[in-house]
Chains A and B, each alone.
Chain A
């Protein structure tokens, strides 16, 4: 099977700031891929660059075998039927002046699909995301965070995309609602055969939804593998730090916590050698050399002192 999405050596700079320094990954049809990293790691830029919403100066983005990096907006527009975005801020990403009916059917209007019965479509989409039909008349300010998020999902699903790019789909949701959204995404993937790229810093979420995951640090993948392999046997010290930084809802759980020193360095002055060296609990002299990306049994790693 050929991947639905194949990203190779993707590079993005905003002025002098090199945000993505060559990101490569692939998503198979029906697969959910999670991209995990701290603020500033470039997660959001990755999916924005894939969707053509952020510049990408070098590299390749193949969707369904076709190169889409750097194509014109005109050429991109029909593809937006197949590649849907879910934006980070659930309420902020909805126009406050449109009703839910207009919001979920806006994609049809943008794509010029005039033959659709918009009322019926709105009803179908709301049903798909488990919202009552009378919500069609509401405005975004009348929605809770969880409901606004579901409207965002409905909008993303309107054109029956093949690929969904979701930016922090559970950020700002209460735990009781978070599960509901993840169940919905899992269910839709099974029923509609969607592929998904999920951007998140919440590792608890990744475990339940992703098939494979990549760990992004300063705009580069430092580790990639199946979700089970990463959770069970993280090899990169950074991955290990991230996993151990997850506070557990149990007062007696005393984790073997690996202190992560400091904060991510500035992208303007990238560290020499291994870029994680200065914060790494395992760093040694060898880390002055630049580690290369090595893949073994489907598990990718960029580290000279793996665990």
Chain B
């Protein structure tokens, strides 16, 4: 068996709306290897959330899978019977959500919730409780035995997110999906969570699909990065390649715009003028064309996502100077 865990192959997903089909994802392809941390970066409306819910097949009723496959260990998740899918969720694939304040059931103790999610394991309740306590200790919650009795409101935001991580890792998943797990937290806690994830990843050897719009976090945590814009992958590759030698103008502009990048006080900060195009009414050609300073006539054609070198893909005509006249 290959070392590829998750393969997304030409995935296109629409939402049926009153205004017509909203093309939320178009021809998405990338893969996640075993034990690898892959970051997905993109701004609001780029399709990050649709992508996650498509992988887990937890999509809204008006979602239509137009084409493509999501293969997990070789099986296509999109055609898998629901019963089999349910067995995967929370055991082989688990997820940490964005908002730690709303992840847990407020009327059940943390211990009860951590025991309940072990419903597939056939061991005694007291054993499940001690597993839960061990996991709490692993994510750095002091005095875990006593804290199992407490309710979510008795924990701070940072602790609740760590409990969510403990619960997600309890089943020893092969793939952990983290959907902006640090966005709701302060910078100091963000660092704690990232460091904890790094440690746990080494311990559990699970692959992590880490979704964020925070470039600093992606740069620090991930091995590979997929950059999304308006429902399409515009660039993907090794984290160093992406940050040091971006090959798509959007990636380049995005990195420039991050104020963390600008050490000297700037009176005028860089921005990307314009707006994300309407996905229900897609413009022709390259999706970034309207906001791109380097756009040419060639951009009237959609550029394919092409391999530039080992482990670096980008969808931009600028990387093909030889085809300049057609």
Would you give 18 A-B contacts (Cβ < 8 Å), ordered by A? A175-B43, A175-B213, A176-B43, A176-B253, A176-B254, A176-B257, A178-B259, A201-B187, A207-B265, A208-B269, A245-B191, A246-B187, A246-B260, A247-B187, A247-B217, A249-B243, A251-B239, A263-B158
**Which secondary structure dominates chain B's binding surface?**
helix
Interface residues of B in 252-290 (CB under 8 A from A): 253-255, 257-262, 265-273, 275
Q: How far is it, in angstroms, between the C-alpha of A257 and the C-alpha of B157 when the chains are bound?
A: 22
B188 within 8 Å of A by Cβ? Answer: yes
- Mask: chain B, 198-234; 1 = CB below 8 Å from A; 0 = not: 0000000000000001111111100000000000000
Interface residues of A in 147-190 (CB under 8 A from B): 174-180, 182-183, 186
Q: How far is it, in angstroms, between the C-alpha of A248 and the C-alpha of B219 when the chains are bound?
A: 7
Which residues of B are found within 8 Å of A228, using beta-carbon distances?
265
Apart from A201-B187, A251-B244, 9 more pairs, CB < 8 Å? A39-B186, A144-B275, A176-B257, A207-B265, A227-B265, A247-B190, A247-B220, A249-B243, A260-B192
Q: How far is it, in angstroms, between the C-alpha of A144 and the C-alpha of B46 when the chains are bound?
A: 13
Chain A: CB-nearest residue to B46: A174
Residue contact A208 to B191, C-beta cutoff 8 Å: no
Residue contact B259 to A179, C-beta cutoff 8 Å: yes
Scoring B253, B259, B272 by chain A CB atoms within 10 A of each residue's CB, the highest score goes to: B259
Residue contact A203 to B265, C-beta cutoff 8 Å: no
A234 within 8 Å of B by Cβ? Answer: no
Residue contact B216 to A247, C-beta cutoff 8 Å: yes
- Mask: chain A, 224-263; 1 = CB below 8 Å from B; 0 = not: 0001100000000000011001111111110001001001
Residue contact A174 to B44, C-beta cutoff 8 Å: yes
Q: Which of A175, A227, A252, A263 has a CB less than 8 Å from the CB of B259?
A: A175
B301 within 8 Å of A by Cβ? Answer: no
Which residues of B are found within 8 Å of A250, using beta-carbon distances?
219, 243-244, 261
Which residues of B are found within 8 Å of A207, using beta-carbon distances?
259, 262, 265
A38 within 8 Å of B by Cβ? Answer: yes
Q: Which of B43, B243, B258, B273 has a CB less than 8 Å from the CB of A251?
A: B243
Q: Which of A38, A247, A252 has a CB less than 8 Å from the CB of B260?
A: A247
Q: How far is the CB of A181 from chain B (nearest CB, A)?
A: 9
B194 within 8 Å of A by Cβ? Answer: yes
Residue contact B188 to A249, C-beta cutoff 8 Å: no
B189 within 8 Å of A by Cβ? Answer: yes
Which residues of B are found within 8 Å of A242, using beta-carbon distances?
187-188
Residue contact B44 to A204, C-beta cutoff 8 Å: no
- Mask: chain B, 30-54; 1 = CB below 8 Å from A; 0 = not: 0000000000000110000000000
Residue contact B272 to A176, C-beta cutoff 8 Å: yes
Which residues of B are found within 8 Å of A249, using beta-carbon distances?
215-216, 218-219, 243, 255, 258, 260-261
Scoring A39, A205, A228 by chain B CB atoms within 10 A of each residue's CB, the highest score goes to: A39
Q: How far is it, in angstroms, between the C-alpha of A253 and the C-alpha of B271 when the chains are bound?
A: 23
With contact pairs A183-B271, A242-B187 given, residues A208 and B262 touching in the complex (Cβ less than 8 Å): yes
B86 within 8 Å of A by Cβ? Answer: no
Residue contact A204 to B243, C-beta cutoff 8 Å: no
Scoring B217, B220, B253 by chain A CB atoms within 10 A of each residue's CB, the highest score goes to: B220
Q: Which of B191, B257, B262, B273 has a CB less than 8 Å from the CB of A247?
A: B191
Q: How far is it, in angstroms, between the C-alpha of A133 and the C-alpha of B23 when the chains are bound?
A: 29
A140 within 8 Å of B by Cβ? Answer: no
Q: How far is the CB of B268 from chain A (nearest CB, A)?
A: 6
Q: How far is it, in angstroms, between the C-alpha of A249 and the C-alpha of B189 when the chains are bound?
A: 18
A219 within 8 Å of B by Cβ? Answer: no
Residue contact A208 to B271, C-beta cutoff 8 Å: no
B156 within 8 Å of A by Cβ? Answer: yes
Chain A: CB-nearest residue to B262: A208
Which residues of B are found within 8 Å of A177, using beta-carbon distances?
271
A300 within 8 Å of B by Cβ? Answer: no
Residue contact B159 to A263, C-beta cutoff 8 Å: yes
Which residues of A are found within 8 Å of B215, using beta-carbon distances?
175, 249
Scoring A186, A201, A241, A248 by chain B CB atoms within 10 A of each residue's CB, the highest score goes to: A248
Which residues of A are found within 8 Å of B240, using beta-carbon distances?
251-252
Q: Which of B216, B253, B255, B265 has a CB less than 8 Å from the CB of A208?
A: B265
Q: How far is it, in angstroms, between the C-alpha of A182 and the C-alpha of B267 when the chains are bound?
A: 9
Name the 9 nearest CB pairs between A and B, nearest first.
Answer: A247-B216, A179-B269, A176-B272, A174-B43, A249-B215, A204-B259, A179-B271, A180-B271, A38-B186
Q: How far is it, in angstroms, between the C-alpha of A252 and the C-alpha of B272 when the chains are bound?
A: 25
Chain B: CB-nearest residue to A182: B269
Scoring A38, A182, A208, A251 by chain B CB atoms within 10 A of each residue's CB, the highest score goes to: A251
Which residues of A are found within 8 Å of B244, using beta-carbon distances?
250-252
Q: How far is the CB of B183 from chain A (nearest CB, A)?
A: 9
Which residues of B are found within 8 Å of A248, using beta-carbon distances?
216, 219-220, 260-261
Q: How far is the CB of B109 from chain A (nearest CB, A)?
A: 20
Residue contact B188 to A186, C-beta cutoff 8 Å: no
Which residues of A are found within 8 Å of B259, using beta-carbon distances?
175, 178-179, 182, 204-205, 207-208
Q: How far is it, in angstroms, between the C-alpha of A159 and the C-alpha of B74 when the chains are bound?
A: 62
A145 within 8 Å of B by Cβ? Answer: yes
Which residues of A are found within 8 Å of B216, using beta-carbon distances?
246-249
Which residues of B are found within 8 Å of A179, using beta-carbon distances?
257, 259, 269-271
Q: How far is it, in angstroms, between the C-alpha of A204 and the C-alpha of B253 when the chains are bound?
A: 17
Chain A: CB-nearest residue to B273: A180
With contact pairs A176-B43, A245-B187, A247-B219 given, residues A183 and B269 touching in the complex (Cβ less than 8 Å): yes
Scoring B186, B216, B253 by chain A CB atoms within 10 A of each residue's CB, the highest score goes to: B186
- Mask: chain A, 107-134; 1 = CB below 8 Å from B; 0 = not: 0000000000000000000000000000
Q: How far is it, in angstroms, between the C-alpha of A4 and the C-alpha of B259 when the chains are bound?
A: 29
Q: How far is the CB of A233 from chain B (nearest CB, A)?
A: 15
Q: How far is it, in angstroms, between the C-alpha of A229 and the C-alpha of B6 when the chains are bound?
A: 48
- Mask: chain B, 157-177; 1 = CB below 8 Å from A; 0 = not: 111000000000000000000
